[in-house]
Structure 1
Amino acid sequence: MVARIAVVDPLPLFRQGVASVLSAAGHSVETPTDVSLWLRRAKSSVVLLTVRSERDWDLLDRLCGAAGHHLVIAVLDAESAVLGARAVRTGARSVLARDVAADTLRQTVEATIGGQAVMPADVAAALAGGTPPNGQRALSAEQLSWLRQLASGSTVTQMADRAGYSERAMFRLLQAVYRQMGVRTRLEAIMRAQESGWL
């Protein structure tokens, strides 16, 4: 699906690089000086907006509050759960770190156009009320082993038998691991472990 995309960033080289990557993927990309005016002319569009200052936050708020069928992807200087969550709460559909690889940029834009919200796991955890990964304690080798077993499809009963615990004790131990990771469910724990490169 071809989309009209506006890239808003203070650095011309960054804008040109993003435009080049997305144009190569078949999208119509522009770098307007007045994105509000551009949006009035573009019926269905995507805006990649770099958010660095309070002025940028105000623009994000105005763009997300404007009428029309457009999507805003907030581009942040560094991965920050707090800033990413703020961007989503302001109305951004997706959140992207400014230093991502070209493939990640392209995939995020295409997933957003396809109706998905894309963001780093720590942003999702912050939105869900969890603890960001950078605030977590290190997991033990045994705890990592449990996560690997869960990811490979083992049941809690099977894991308890292998580890020599009762099923009830294994559930409690896994709940402690989830809390330590700042997640609430088995699925969140597996996803966090995959993103952290533990599996």
Structure 2
Amino acid sequence: MIRIVIVEEMGLLRGALRAVLSSEEDLDVVADLHEPAELVTTVRRRRPDVVVVDMELPGADMLDVLAQLGTEAPGSAVLALATQLSPEALQRAIRSGARGFVDKNLPPAELARLVRAVAFGERVFDPVAAAAALNPPESPLTNRELEVLRVAAEGLPLKEIARRLFLAHGTVRNHLSVIMRKTGTRNRLEAVRQAQRAGWI
């Protein structure tokens, strides 16, 4: 019997996931959570073979949550679900130690198959996101501009970005202006999101 823990904020979807997986003779949902706060404790107590988790839970850094899970409960395989199957999201899932990263809207029978696959040690990744991650579009930005954008992604003010990179305040402002022009974005938040989706940062 494959033991499963589900982490999904939306009650209706969480219930549907539980119903689909529990209907399989070899699958047993031992817990379902609406937020990740109790995930590590629950996994330690219930010792599931697979954790099915929504990577887009609001108010949670799932990268940190799953990294902690990998450290404290390495025996549980993680199957990450998402609606935004971008190269950046795939890379985050892989960095967190997830064994699978797939579309949240996949058919029920396919979900059960993928749960079994990760339980038995296979890796399953959405093929479109994986192809995009392996072959990202070429960045129009220079190495220095990418460096500025990486630090800007932390949400720091211009002066702090300048201090971190040992640049003048005006130089950072100029770099950000060039970045927005090259990427066709209106502000640095849009530029950061576009660069993350494309796998440049």
Q: TM-score, normalised by structure 1?
A: 0.59
Residue by residue, what CA displacement relative to the aligned partner does 1:78-132 show, whole Å, maximum 9, x if unpaired?
A: 22222012201220011121111112211111111121100112343355xx325
RMSD of aligned Cα (Å): 2.2
Matched, 1:22 2:21: yes
Does the 8 Å contact 1:77/1:97 carry over to 2?
yes
Runs (4 or more) in structure 1 with deviation over 6 Å come to none
The secondary structure found in structure 2 opposite 1:69 is coil
Shift in Å, 1:10 = 0.6
Residue-by-residue CA offset, 1:60-95 (whole Å, 9 max, x unaligned): 221122244111111112222220122012200111
Total equivalences in the alignment: 131
1:109 corresponding residue in structure 2: 115
Q: What pairs up with 1:172-191 in 2 under 5 angstroms?
A: none
State how far apart, in whole Å, the 1-side matches of 2:14 and 2:107 are: 14
1:90 alignment partner, one of 73, 96, 105: 96
2:60 corresponds to 1:39? no
Q: Relative to 1, partners in 2 of residues 1:68 and 1:89: Cα closer, same or farther, differing over 3 Å?
A: closer
Take 1:71 and 1:105, find their aligned partners in 2: how far apart are those partners? Answer: 14
Q: Quote the residue 1:10 is aligned against.
A: 9
Report if the CA contact (8 A) 1:6-1:47 is conserved: yes
If asked which structure has higher relative contact order (CA below 8 Å, sep 6+), I would say 2
Cα deviations by residue, 1:114-154 (Å, 9 ceiling, x for unpaired) = 21100112343355xx325xx69xxxxxxxxxxxxxxxxxx
- Superimposed CA distance per residue, residues 25-84 of structure 1 (whole angstroms, 9 cap, x where no aligned partner): 121112146221111113342111111155233212211222441111111122222201
Which structure 2 segments of 5+ residues have no match?
A: 139-201
SS of residue matched to 1:6: strand
Q: Match for 2:126: what amino acid?
A: P
For the residue of structure 2 that corresponds to 1:72, the secondary structure is: strand
Structure 2 counterpart of 1:28, one-letter code: D
Question: What SS does the aligned partner of 2:21 have?
Answer: helix
> Contact 1:85–1:123 at 8 Å: present in 2 too?
no
CA distance in 1: counterparts of 2:122 and 2:20, whole angstroms: 20
- Residue 62 (structure 1) aligned with residue 68 (structure 2): yes
Question: After the TM superposition, which of the residue ranges 72-81 and 111-120 deviates more from structure 2?
Answer: 72-81
Percent of aligned positions with the same letter in both sequences? 27
Aligned match of 1:80 in 78, 86, 101? 86
SS of 1:10 mapped into structure 2: coil
Distance across 2 between alignment mates of 1:57 and 1:68: 15
5+ unaligned residues in a row in structure 1: which ranges?
Answer: 137-199
